[in-house]
Structure 1
Amino acid sequence: MPSPHETPAGDSGDSGRPVLLHGLRLIDGTGSAPVPDAALLIEGSVIRWAGPAAQLPVDLGPPTRLDLGGRTVCPGFIDTHVHFALPGPAGNPLQGLLELPSYRTLKVLDRLRVTLENGVTTARDLMGLDAGFRQAVAERRIPGPRLLVSVTMISQRAGHADFTLAGGIDGLAVAVTFPESPRSLVGSVDDMRARVRDLVAAGADCVKLASSGGVTSPHDRPEWLGLRPEMIRAAVEEAQAYGGLPVAAHAIGRPGIEAAVHGGVTSIEHGYALDDELRAEMVARGQYLVPTLLETTQDLDPARTSPSAYEKGVRWHRIAQESVARSASAGVRMAMGTDSGLAVGHGRNLQELGLLVDIAGLTPMEAIVAATGDAARLCGVDEVTGTLVAGRAADLVVTDVDPLSDIASLGESAHILAVVKEGRIAVDRAGVLGDGVLPALCP
C-alpha cells in the first residue's frame, strides 16, 4: 500500500528546473517572526532552501525566478478533523442510504478539490474515507489534500458511532463509510483490540475513538461515557504496538474526556467539558486539543435534525466556546480542526483560524502554528510537511493579506490567491505563479 507521502509511480519528483520564489513575505509555520524580504527555492516536490533573500546561497544554481510582488507565503494548512464522506449543511448524511457507493464517491471528489483550493494541503479524515482515496490523491489521480484516514470511528453500542436505525440498519456503515471498511461498534476489550488490528490492516493512519456520546448520534448524550476506560487503554496499546498510530478521541462531556486523557490518547477532539484538573494532565502528557470551533458556531438546522440533536447542539456549543480559552491559557497544545462535513461546509476550513484568535485567545501566529507545524506534529507528518523549511514538501499558500493583522481574511477564497502542493499548482486564482513556471497538480 503506498504511503500518503509517496511520489506517484514513475515520477521522480523532479518537475524540471528549480524555481525561486522571491519578493515575498515568509511565514514558515515554526512560530518564528516573518521574514519580510524572503525567497523560497522549490526543486521538484520539495523545498530546497527558504529564508532571507539576501542570504540565498550562491551555489544553488540558476533557477527560474518568480517575483511574488511582496505577497505573503504561508505553509499549506492542515485540518486535523474533517469528514469528507459527509455533505455539510447542504445535505443530509442519511441520504447515502439511497445512493450507490460509486455515486457517493463522486461527491467526495468535489469536496476534496474545494478543500485543497481553499488552502488546506493536508487533511485528516476522522471517519468515512478508506485508504483508496488516500492512494488516489497520492498518485495525483484526483486533486485533494494529502490524506490521513481513520477509516471509521469506534464506539460501543449506544455510543456516538451507533447510528443503528429502528429497522436494524447500520446507518453509519451504509450511508457514510465505504464497503469493506471495518465496522464501528465493539462490545469488549478483546473486540477493541481486534478492531484496531482490522483498521491497521485496512490502511488506517490513525485510530478514532468515541469516548463520549455526541450531539448528532441518536442513542446517547455528550455527557455519557462512550467507551469504558479499559477499552480505551486497549485501543491505545494496540495502536502503539502497530507503529505508534495516533489515537484521536471524540470527547465532549467530562466522563469521556477523563477516560480518554487517562487512557493516553494523542488528541482530544472537541473537549468541551475540560476542567483545570484535566487540562493540567493534558499538558503534562503532551496531549493535543482539537477544539473544532467552527462547528460550534453552526447550530444544527432544526428542520433537518431531531429536537434532541438540536437541543444538544445549542447547549454544548455554548459550553465549548466558554471552555476553549481556559484550555489555551492553561497551556494545552492545540491543533486546527473544523469537523467539516456535518454542520460546516467543505472549503470553509480556514475560517477556524480567526476563531482560534477571537474565541480561544491565541495570537495570530499561534493560530497559524496550530494549523501548520503543530498540526503536522499531531498527525505524525512533521518530517514531511507543516513548515516551509529545507527538505519539507513544497506545500504553500500565497495570500494578499497579512495574516498577523487580519487572519480572518484567510477564510475567504478571494484572499487565497494560489495553493501549491508538492511543488505543483493546485489553484492560481490571480495568476501570481506565472504561466508554466510550476507544473499543474493534476495535468
Structure 2
Amino acid sequence: MSPLPVVLHNARIVDGTGAPPVPDGVLVIEGPTIRWCGPAGEAPDDPDLRRATRVDLGGRTVCPGFIDAHVHFALPGPVESPLAGAGEPVSYRTLKVLERLRVTLHNGVTTARDLMGLDAGFRRAVAERRVAGPRLLVAVSMLSQTAGHADFRLPSGIDALASAVAFPGSPPGIVDTVDDLRTRVRELVAAGADCVKLAASGGVTSPHDQPEWLGLRPEMIRAAVEEAEAYGGLPVAVHAIGEPGIAAAVRAGVRSIEHGYALTDELRAEMAERGQFLVPTLLETMHDPDPSTVPAAVRAKAVHWHRVAQESVARSVQAGIRIAMGTDAGLIASHGQNLKELGLLVRIGGMTPLQAVRAATSDAADLCGVGDTTGSLTAGKAADLVVCGTDPLDDIDSLADPAHVHAVLKEGRVAIDRAGVLTAAGLPDLIP
C-alpha cells in the first residue's frame, strides 16, 4: 500500500448518509480505509497529511461504492438462456461468473449480495483478491416447498436450478416440512451462507406456481427466522410477490422483502413499524421476456406483475419503509447495468436522488449487515468509493452509463480508472 496517506481534494462529496453534499470536499485514504472525509476548511493539519500525495479531482463527485442487495451472478441475464449452464462444464460456468463479477465492480458496485447461485468459494476468491469483483455476500441456495419458486424440476426430469445455476455441494432448495427447513438452514450455515433466502410466494419464471400463491407455509418461515437468529443472527431475505407470501414473511419477522409487488397499505405500515427492508428490484421489471425464448404463460405472468411492481413502489416509499437497492441482475437485467436502478427509484419510486444514493449505500449496507465496514464515506470504513464524471444528484440517470463512472476504488485499491484521475495517487491496483 502507499506509504503515506492519499488526499483527494477539490471533490464534491456525497457521503451516503443522506446528508447534503459537501461542495469543496476532502477525502483522506490511508491503506484500505478512510482516515477522514469532510469540508476542505475542516481538514486536519498534521505532518503526515502535509507530506501526503495530493490528487485534485477537478470538482468531480465522490460517492461511496454502491451496493446491490439482490443479484444472481450464476445467471446470464439477457445474453443467453438461463438454462445454458445445464449443458456446460462447471469450470466454464465459473469462468463466465468471473467476467460478471468484474464488469459489476468496474461499473460502480463494490459490494453485492448474491441471493442464490454462488457458493462461499467465490466470496473467498474475491476477498483474497484472486479475482476482481464486489465484496460478496452469498445466500448459496433459495428455499421453497415443492411446487414453489425453488422447484424448477422440468417434465424431462432435469432440475434446472441444480444443473444450470447451483454449484456442486450447494444444499438443495426444496423443503417440505418444518424439521427439514430447520436442517436445511443449518446446512446453509455450514456451507458459509451470509444470509438465508426463502421464497414465500410463487415466482414469474418458476414453472409450477403463481406469484399470488403462498410458496412457504407461515410456520416454515417462522422456523427459518428462528434458526437464522440462533446461528449468529443471519438476516432472512424473502422473495415475495403476491400478498399471501408477503404477509406471511412480514409477520414472521424477516429482515427484507424482495420484490414486494402486491404490498397493501396495512402491510406497508407493519413493515415500516418493524424496520423491515424492501428491495424493489425495479430494473428486473423494465423488460418483459422475449416471447421467442420463454413459454407464453411465463411471459403473461411477467407482463402482469411487472406493471403491478411499477405501480406499487412509490406507495411503499411514501409509507416510510426502508428501501435498499437491488436489481435481480442476471435474471432479465444485464450484469454491470446495476446503477440504472438509481434512476428508477427516482422516476418510478418517487425518491429524491439523495434518497436513492442512500438506498444504494448506507441503507443497503445496513440491510446486508456490513454497515460497520462500508456504505458511507466515514472515517474508519473501507475506502470503497466511486469517482463520478457527473453530479448524480443533478442527473441520477448518468450513472447508468459506465463512461460516467470515472474511477472505482475498493478497500483503497484501484479497480478501474477510466479517466486517469487517480494516476498520480500511487494507489495499488486491486489485482496486481
Aligned to 1:27: 14
Q: If the length of structure 1 is used for normalisation, what is the TM-score? A: 0.96
Contact 1:47-1:390 at 8 Å conserved across structures: yes
Picking from 164, 176, 189, the partner of 1:175 is 164
Q: Is the CA contact (8 Å cut-off) linking 2:140 and 2:170 kept in structure 1?
A: yes
The residue number in structure 1 matching 2:188 is: 199
Match of 1:297 in 2: 286
Partner of 2:89: 100
Alignment-derived partner of residue 5 in structure 1:
none
Question: Paired residue for 1:249?
Answer: 238
Is the 2:6–2:425 Cα contact (8 Å) retained in structure 1?
Answer: no
* Aligned with residue 57 of structure 1, among 18, 40, 44: 44
Displacement, 1:348?
Answer: 0.2
Gaps of 5+ in 2: none
**Do structure 1's residue 391 and structure 2's residue 389 form an aligned pair?**
no
> Hey, what does 2:311 align to over in structure 1?
322
* Cα shift at 1:409: 0.5
Alignment-mate amino acid for residue 316 of structure 2: S
Written as runs of structure 1 = structure 2, the 5 A alignment for 1:325-344 is: 325-344=314-333
Give the Cα separation in 2 of the matches to 1:312 and 1:60: 63
Match among 94, 115, 136 for residue 125 of structure 2: 136
Q: Percent identity?
A: 70
Name the CA distance, whole Å, in 2 between partners of 1:32 and 1:306. 47
Q: Tell me by how many angstroms 1:124 deviates.
A: 0.2
- TM-superposed CA distance for 1:434, in Å, is 1.5
Tell me whether 51-60 or 133-142 shows the greater mean CA deviation. Answer: 51-60
Matches of 1:205 and 1:15, distance apart in 2: 32
Letter in 2 for 1:438: L
- Report the Cα offset of residue 178 of structure 1: 0.1
**1:88–1:346 Cα contact (<8 Å) kept:** yes
Change beyond 3 A, Cα 1:242–1:329: same
Q: How does 1:256-405 map to 2 (within 5 A)?
A: 256-405=245-394
1:126 counterpart = 2:115: yes
Asked whether the equivalents of residues 15 and 45 of structure 1 are also in contact (C-alpha less than 8 Å), the reply is no
Alpha-carbon offset, residue 169 of structure 1:
2.3
Measure how far apart 1:436 and its partner are.
5.9
Q: What is the alpha-carbon distance in structure 2 between the residues aligned to residue 236 and residue 100 of structure 1?
A: 35
Q: Which runs of 5+ in 1 are unaligned?
A: 1-13
User: Matched residues in 1 for 2:354 and 2:42: separation?
Assistant: 24
The answer to whether the aligner puts 1:147 opposite 2:125 as a matched pair is: no
Distance in 2 (alpha carbons) for counterparts of 1:47 and 1:53: 15
Name the CA distance, whole Å, in 1 between partners of 2:28 and 2:423: 15
Secondary structure at 2:313's aligned position in 1?
helix
Correspondent of 2:63 among 74, 88, 99: 74
Q: How many residues align?
A: 430
In 1, are the aligned partners of 2:132 and 2:431 still within 8 Å (CA)? yes
Q: 1:58: how far off?
A: 1.0
Quote the offset at 1:227 in angstroms.
0.2
Letter in 1 for 2:121: G
Question: What's 1:10 paired with?
Answer: none
Deviation for aligned residue 1:359? 0.2
Change (3 A) 1:63 1:311: same
2:160 & 2:20 partners in 1: Cα distance?
48
Q: Pairwise CA RMSD of aligned residues?
A: 0.8
Contact kept in structure 1, 2:54 and 2:425, CA below 8 Å: no
Query: Helix, strand or coil: the match of 2:182?
Result: helix
Superposition TM-score, scaled by structure 2 size: 0.99
Secondary structure in 1 aligned to 2:101? helix
